[in-house]
Homo-oligomer: A and B are copies of this chain.
Amino acid sequence: MIKKDFPVEDVRRFLEPTPTVLVTSAYKDKQNIMTMGWYTVMEFVPSLIGCMITGSNYSFGLITKSRECVINIPSSDLAKKVVAVGNCSGADTDKFTSIGFTAEPASIVKAPLLKECFASFECKIHDSKLINAYNFFIFEVVRAHVASRPKFPETIAYRGDSQFVLSGKNIRIHSDK
């Protein structure tokens, strides 16, 4: 999917509703993909995202060593592949070839963009204070790439227990004041 540069201070447009995302990472000759649902926008400028990445994930080591990752947003037509990513480990599986994702070079970080995703946000660790206590990473989005259309692709968000909720209609609500 062709993506264009997007203002990093506006990534909340896609991340505040917190769709399930695919986080890519790379260190030396290893790279991996993991699913992530536990994260939040934390600031506009710098563009900060707080993320839970547990130590049992193969990606944890790649990210703590490289201090970088890419947050990619899959649309709902990739749901089966997203579940597949979440159900195997990069320790013994090359998820790119076995599940079918295409790594593309990023602009700033070494972790790859996922070609099949409509948005990819290049991130660097901004604050590592809560990694030891909670596995909580604070990333800064340093470059954002977003497909021009559709404006808001349908996404999925996990609820646990194999259940997902699809994103629905987009609406504007203005204040009465």
Taking Cβ atoms with an 8 Å cutoff, the residues of A that contact B are: 10, 12-14, 16-18, 37-43, 48, 50-52, 79-80, 83-84, 87-88, 127, 129-130, 133-134, 136, 138, 152, 154, 157-177
Contact = CB atoms under 8 A, between A and B. Distances in A.
B42 A134 contact: yes
Nearest to A40: B40
A172 B152 CA distance: 22
Given A12-B159, A177-B87, A168 B170 contact: no
Contact of A176 (B84, B136, B161): B84
A174 B17 CA distance: 23
A167 B19 CA distance: 11
5 contacts: A14-B159, A42-B136, A80-B173, A87-B177, A127-B133
A2 B52 CA distance: 33
Contacts of A175: 83-84, 87, 162
Contact of A38 (B41, B134, B169, B173): B41
Given A165-B169, A177-B87, A160 B13 contact: yes
